[in-house]
Structure 1
Amino acid sequence: MAGAVMLGKHVLQQLRPFGFPLAGWSRSGATLEGVEVFAGESQLPEFLARTDILICLLPLTDETRGILNSRLFRQLPRGAALINVGRGAHLINADLLEALDAEQLRAAVLDVCDPEPLPQDHPFWRDPRIIITPHVASMTHPETAVERVLEVIAQHQAGMPLSGAIDRNKGY
């Protein structure tokens, strides 16, 4: 799981009951119970080398634009799979097709694409190794959204730091 802090934490919790060996990579290296955590650029190769299914949930920043590329794919075990639910601009489209043709990757699920929507004649539509979903990996549910808004209002009223606040220095 790349992007293992906010969104990744929830996805990892959902995968736990299935018995997957869980690992996450992020810039910060936040500790997550039952998850092997990797942090920073120096640990990215080690994380990738042990990852059979890479789920990308990274924010889109200058550093992450194009991160899903041939160099990264070569660091995954041969036959790994990719799920991109982060941002379409994370992926270099031609590099994905090249990795699939070389059997470095066996499959990809893309909830986000660049461009979005994909043109009707885009090669991803015809490739049986690629599943495209309609950008619905994360949907806002009013019940939980209201709880979250009330939580942040309470933090603000108590003079506490706001959880989930955007850090413009990080780019997200």
Structure 2
Amino acid sequence: MTIHPIRFTGRPTGETDRLPQEIACYDLLDQLGISYDRVDHTAAHTIADCAVIEKVLGAPICKNLVLCNRQKTSFYLLLMEGEKPFRTKELSKQIGSARLSFASPEDMEAYLHVTPGSATILALMFDRGHRVQLILDRPVAEWVRIGCHPCINTSTLNLSMAEIRNKFLPYLGVEPILVELPEEREEVH
């Protein structure tokens, strides 16, 4: 993985090689008066890649999972700590939705305009029909800063979680569901 060693403030100056949805993220953040720093890098595919980016970014990066029920009638974007294991059963119990699985790349593209590896809270701006419910694991909701991709995994933004919760989400009309996912697997006796 290659990371540009400088953390930039704001949007890139040369935007001709950037995806339209990435530019739309910068446009909306700027419109809402949400400041951000940016780190550019080669594609980040894993949480291990994100751990390296965090050192330059200066903010934790969470795991972003796009999920759906079996019937594909309910979709969710789950933000949780990167190293925390994901257990479908625990989340299903808390949100009252059984048989959760990962959403297909086609559904991610249709509702959030992202591809696998690029899911982000910022992609909710494209979910005009409010088909995707945001779920925040409580520790992530309590972070001061959050690192997330601008709908492409070759850049990562350092944002204020307070601005995300108090400006970005209200602008979109999104009310997150808060959950508390366990750190470790409970032993069965």
Structure number with greater CO (CA < 8 Å, separation at least 6) is: 2
Larger radius of gyration: 1
TM-score (norm 2): 0.30
User: Normalized per residue, which structure has more strand?
Assistant: 2
